[in-house]
Structure 1
């Protein structure tokens, strides 16, 4: 036995730098060797428990589990109590007797070290017994989970009040509760050499394009990293252009948003340990749409959507327009307003471009400080800080009053975008636009706009043009882009995602048919 133990020790330790490839090997025929192998694998792991007992009073057996991830009461009541009872001689094999005796709903047979390690790491204990080459994975995982709460990043007046949490099992059940159809498919993958994170690809069979599903699976299976800690890891590894400031994958923590996108032929990607679900493919207009657009009357939704487009332009271009006009094109400003602005700028020692950059950088710093601080003081610090610093800067002659107004309007406009990731892209592009305006005036602004449009036209999200359905033009699909049409008019799914099943409602939904 000692010789075998030293042989196992050499086998496992010699392969430690190769991530213990022996774990892919099947379990040994010898029960003692299996226990010694697992003791070496979980060496210096004080939270891994080896509970040995006599199976049916005459056969050695061991349960291996991780304390804190496994239901210990379930092990005692549903495993140890029935299996430690002495039974009369039976013709059944030990496998059959174990499966008959354990009152656990989920019992899977595992045959390799890696399968056993995956099960133990997921909270499901492994039962090994003498005379059986395979092990039994028992569905007794139990750990502390955060309760379902209202989404914090996508707050709304109407609509469901629940969001995803870090448990992927709960997230899957939330989707199942909304889409009650076996056509909702969920493919599970494991990614990460050390974290072994569960990734679930979800889609609706018959609506999502199979080519899209195969492409997403191909990109995910090609990931080989040490670990996945958040969905952003996945997003950066599978998106088409990682150097673009614009996201090509949508991130949401609302189950209703995921389900609405699945019904349009898109694919969702759930990541264990994060409350955000990734959605692909998307377009630029997906970032402008909000879940509340579909929970209120279409007239109101359309008006608010146009307001977002307006403030999107203000957020990107207002500071650069101010710099261009005050530096190169003063003739565009009415005389009375120009005299007032000139009097306000008279004590300022900096040119307008430096003035704008100082205020914009200060505003972004205050915004980030407000986000990172505790909720109780974060809002107060950001608002009071902006007021105090702005007023002090004007009185000190560092910036002019019109500049404070421009920066304040720009900041408010950036909050109009419903997607945080879209707002970050606009905030980043604002600075090169200011530099172009300060160098070339309105010509520089037009040059910047042309470069941004060219970049957007070249972007793809899993093969789908980023500006679709505007470029290439799909007039039928513009009814949910430039405005939000009534539901009875949106009878077709987006062509590039749901082309296998274009119709999403039957004819005759118009109110005209109700008369």
Structure 2
């Protein structure tokens, strides 16, 4: 018969063996040192309390030293009381696991081991530097709040709860990343969000198995090969709060200011907080302009190529001579003109992003003027093509979401090739393929091109235009919320006059 060894320092389970806190102080300290590979910023403070040895361990580069000194002084001044009763730290936790102690240390907590005791005390003393709450530079608004998410998960949750003072707002914490141990938060309003949607988001997140979490969007989106983003990435708390109240779910990741909102529709990318902070007529006008910019940015260069190459007779007679004279000395076909100018534009845009702000502004102005003037005077590009590319670039920058704007510019390239081969017929085929793809695409089981596919007339009130706020008394059906009705009659005062 085999003898079974008993080791009090280990707790066995079916899946793994967990190292537990020993009653020997030296054993615990040695385990922590070895687990952290004797890192130089591990600090060990030894004190004595009521004839018991106490070890205080922390990583000094990620903790608040003044808080630790205050707590140590409290322990020394009260030798006859328990540590839990002495310390005033609001976040005190007890644990019997040394493995959990290691994870707590690298997250900025302070660990207290006591001789002849098998329980460790965790103190929240983390001091990770956070950026000040400020308006996101890529989502600025004229009217409305001017605060934005930062890289701290706690601050981001605070900004959301500040806007939704509702006990039904639920925050579920998950941990991803085998090596990074990144914390993410699943945020939703339990009384509005669809339960199946919440379960589906959790299910997809549970399958993520990576060492380091950089971008979870590609792991959980429905179609990774689609050029269109299927989740809204935003840094604005007011935008997240509004989507949560429509029954959607938000995923907040620690260490990034971008929050993912799902499910989403195509038209959500052309909506901004300004639409709801302005009067409905103004908001509807600018929303129509944004949607028109989508058509211009995706098809204008292709349309110019088709007209010049195949359908010159469509151009008004007054413009024919101007277009013809600008093309007379250009040695390249219109496709090469458009491709070269679009690539130069993307290079200027990318370099402006990477350079410091003062230099990037100079580069954008000087580079655009110099290159534009030089290529026209050298007869490498026609004046008309320069105007077309400029209008296309301006239209693509109108999109409130930068990722959607980039996708639109990319889709313009295959349309240009189609136009250069078979003219307007190629453009029509290309647009039909894009439309079919939009109608087929889904975001967490919700139709991406709703309310047009499938057609929902009631949801049209906040799509290509916006009706007055008191008319939008129902939530959109895309996220399938539990409650469709928002308000009953917000202008009841009008009936009582």
Q: TM-score range by the shorter chain?
A: over 0.9
- Find 1:58's aligned residue among 51, 59, 66: 51
Report the Cα distance in structure 2 between the residues aligned to 1:302 and 1:315, rounded to whole angstroms: 20
- Find 1:225's aligned residue among 190, 207, 210: 210
Which residue of structure 2 lines up, in the alignment, with residue 14 of structure 1?
none
- Find 2:341's aligned residue among 347, 359, 362: 359
TM-score of the two chains, using structure 1 as the length reference: 0.91
Which residue of structure 2 lines up, in the alignment, with residue 392 of structure 1?
374
Aligned-pair CA distance for 1:510:
5.7
The equivalences for 1:100-499 within 5 A come to: 100-229=85-214, 233-499=215-481
Q: CA RMSD in A?
A: 1.7
Report the Cα distance in structure 2 between the residues aligned to 1:426 and 1:129, rounded to whole angstroms: 62
**Is contact 2:186–2:249 with CA below 8 Å preserved after alignment?**
yes
Which residue of structure 1 lines up, in the alignment, with residue 22 of structure 2?
28
Query: Deviation digits for residues 89-124 of structure 1, max 9, x if unmatched?
Result: x8xxxxxx2211112111111222332122212111
Report the Cα distance in structure 1 between the residues aligned to 2:138 and 2:285, rounded to whole angstroms: 23
Q: SS at the partner of 1:161?
A: coil
When residues 474 and 402 of structure 1 are mapped into structure 2, their CA distance, relative to the original with a 3 A threshold, is same
Aligned residues: 484
Matched, 1:504 2:486: yes
Report the Cα distance in structure 1 between the residues aligned to 2:286 and 2:473, rounded to whole angstroms: 22
Report the Cα distance in structure 1 between the residues aligned to 2:84 and 2:488, rounded to whole angstroms: 49
Report the Cα distance in structure 2 between the residues aligned to 1:499 and 1:256, rounded to whole angstroms: 19
Report the Cα distance in structure 2 between the residues aligned to 1:410 and 1:453, rounded to whole angstroms: 20
Gap regions ≥5 residues in structure 2: 1-6, 11-15
Aligned-pair CA distance for 1:340:
1.9
When residues 204 and 403 of structure 1 are mapped into structure 2, their CA distance, relative to the original with a 3 A threshold, is same
Report the Cα distance in structure 2 between the residues aligned to 1:42 and 1:59, rounded to whole angstroms: 26
Aligned-pair CA distance for 1:27:
2.7
Q: SS at the partner of 2:171?
A: strand
When residues 409 and 511 of structure 1 are mapped into structure 2, their CA distance, relative to the original with a 3 A threshold, is farther
Which residue of structure 1 lines up, in the alignment, with residue 66 of structure 2?
73
**Is contact 1:57–1:85 with CA below 8 Å preserved after alignment?**
no
Report the Cα distance in structure 1 between the residues aligned to 2:356 and 2:178, rounded to whole angstroms: 35
Report the Cα distance in structure 2 between the residues aligned to 1:114 and 1:187, rounded to whole angstroms: 23
Aligned-pair CA distance for 1:147:
1.0
Report the Cα distance in structure 1 between the residues aligned to 2:195 and 2:491, rounded to whole angstroms: 30
TM-score of the two chains, using structure 2 as the length reference: 0.94
Aligned-pair CA distance for 1:499:
2.8
Q: SS at the partner of 1:406?
A: helix
Report the Cα distance in structure 2 between the residues aligned to 1:397 and 1:511, rounded to whole angstroms: 67
Report the Cα distance in structure 1 between the residues aligned to 2:87 and 2:23, rounded to whole angstroms: 23
Query: Deviation digits for residues 179-220 of structure 1, max 9, x if unmatched?
Result: 111111111111111111110111111101111111111111
